[in-house]
Structure 1
């Protein structure tokens, strides 16, 4: 892994795919244990979480289903503080255990918004699984039930995370160097 450039920013290697996969396996094992017998519905938050959701879901051994929502809250390297729903949830989640699958929780605004929307649809339980968590950036009182990796408050790309829609295809995670 070498320094890379995406648009006007340089990024350096941060977390390699082996460490990512090990962390995902641990999260999946906890979910398999915690939610056995509940047939949870995993809700992947697009676009960023699709890579994590695919790898996580392949490690899930309990009966379960997956669906997708699409939200947007970033512009460039900053959270806008506003969450825009691009594609909502079509499934009935009444009395179902749902697991919201996110790529990263930083400010918490997106998860807070999603949980408020989901609560109105009467689920049995709402859990959150995130590949990455930035506790220093958190601005909302939310709980992340399953965290693969905690990171400091730095801007990252790769493994589904982007900078202006670029860099999602990187197999490893890179951190901004400028």
Structure 2
């Protein structure tokens, strides 16, 4: 598969910056403060949802001032496309969380199909409680379940196709130091 890097660069050049690096870092610090206040004594197992949650988790975890166990999982609907399909598990959790509280760290709560499936998986596998932390909550009426709300949210976002801080555009720009919206999407 050949990638048109000129197109990928053009997407960034034309993108609208919704939140700059400082905005995102402040939001992550606020999420950490909430989690420290609520989960410090609960011995949670923390799962980073790959690949999108990697940067958020990497920035968030050093701000958590309590002992925790960390692992990852990888479930996706996008596979480097701009619209989602069926849920595909690339890696299920390998650490036991039976009768434990779980904190899922992900990049975005958009429609929530992936996050809902991960929450259900953790509950059915024996977690005593599942908490969720997302960097971005996309504001629209298309959530997978009307009751699906993240416990910890960094920033709200308008309903556009966004990238940066772990979120990608066709597999690229996860490394962008800010939250950007693709022109026209």
| TM-score relative to the length of structure 2 | 0.88
Shift of 1:26: 0.6
| Alignment check: 8 A CA contact 1:5 1:11 kept | no
Partner of 1:162: 168
Show CA shifts across 1:9-45 (max 9, x none): 4422221110101001111111111012112111000
Matched, 1:61 2:65: yes
Q: Secondary structure of 2:87's partner?
A: strand
Shift of 1:79: 2.3
Structure-to-structure mapping, 1:73-88, within 5 angstroms: 73-74=77-78, 76-80=81-85, 82-88=86-92
Matched, 1:120 2:128: no
| Alignment check: 8 A CA contact 1:49 1:103 kept | yes
Structure-to-structure mapping, 1:75-114, within 5 angstroms: 76-80=81-85, 82-114=86-118
Query: Which of structure 1's runs of 4+ aligned residues deviate more than 4 A?
Result: none
Q: Distance in 1 between matches of 2:29 and 2:137?
A: 17
Aligned-residue CA RMSD (Å): 1.6
Q: Distance in 2 between matches of 1:100 and 1:85?
A: 15
Q: Distance in 1 between matches of 2:118 and 2:144?
A: 15
Q: Distance in 2 between matches of 1:51 and 1:145?
A: 19
| Alignment check: 8 A CA contact 2:116 2:144 kept | no
Matched, 1:39 2:43: yes
Show CA shifts across 1:64-83 (max 9, x none): 12110011112522222x21
Partner of 1:6: 8
Shift of 1:139: 2.8
Partner of 2:136: 132
Shift of 1:159: 1.1
Counting helix residues as a fraction of each chain, which structure ranks higher? 2
| TM-score relative to the length of structure 1 | 0.91
Show CA shifts across 1:89-134 (max 9, x none): 1111011111000100111101110011111111121000000011
Structure 1: gaps (5+ residues)? none
Q: Secondary structure of 1:94's partner?
A: coil
Counting strand residues as a fraction of each chain, which structure ranks higher? 1
Structure 2: gaps (5+ residues)? 1-5
Aligned length: 174
Matched, 1:147 2:149: no
